[in-house]
Amino acid sequence: MSRILLLNKPYDVLCQFTDAEGRHTLAEFVHEKGLYPAGRLDRDSEGMVLLTDDGSLQHCIAHPKHKLAKTYWVQVEGEPDDEALQRLRRGVELKDGVTRPATVERMETPPIWDRDPPIRYRANIPTSWLTLTISEGRNRQVRRMTAAVGYPTLRLVRWAIGPWQLQGLQPGQWRELPGDEVGAFLQRCTRLAAPRPGAASRTRRAPPDKRPREEKRRR
């Protein structure tokens, strides 16, 4: 039976099990063998990482074509106005192209763990929290999106991936999904990967012979 673990990755931990430079890794918190992260989460970000022992599940979770929503709680510098939120909802122009439309709303300060170390506050500049959901996985995407609309990210917590949330997990803690949930998700992945009816490749017609008419007659 395939397995999926939900881990609350702490701040300053690499999303991998080994590191030649001796930095903190997932191996300090997950001692199960044969599991690998499905997707990435930056060292300076916190929150949900899914780990699995099934390559097809790993692909389904991480690949953008499956559009598995990822929800982040984002603490930003300043107080975003309505125009900034609308730009995030429409899609933001980044160096690697325009982002897909995001779902974003203001939120109250969430009742979560303190970060160690805490963020750096700037005197006389307020901070605020957003809940932001995307279905892409570009490098440092959320940070670049909020910076592009004028509100740099100070703290980033991935709260949910698809239907799963961090509820009840403290930094470094994990829980394993029940087998029936894993099976149902695997079936969903299989359906998404199956070719659509009528999408079978059609035989391409050969291009017309464009040689001069006299050359055709000599054949």
**219 vs 212: CA distance, rounded Å:** 12
Residue 99's closest CA among 90, 86, 110, 111? 90
Tell me which amino acid residue 40 is.
R
Cβ neighbors of 131 (< 8 A, separation 6 or more) are: 71, 72, 73, 74, 104, 105, 107, 159
From 12, 19, 42, 114, the catalytic residue: 42
Two tokens, residue 25: 């890794």
H helices present in 67-178, as ranges: 82-90, 141-148
Cβ neighbors of 146 (< 8 A, separation 6 or more) are: 74, 76, 80, 88, 130, 132, 152, 153
Respond yes or no: is residue 42 known to be catalytic.
yes
Catalytic residues: 42
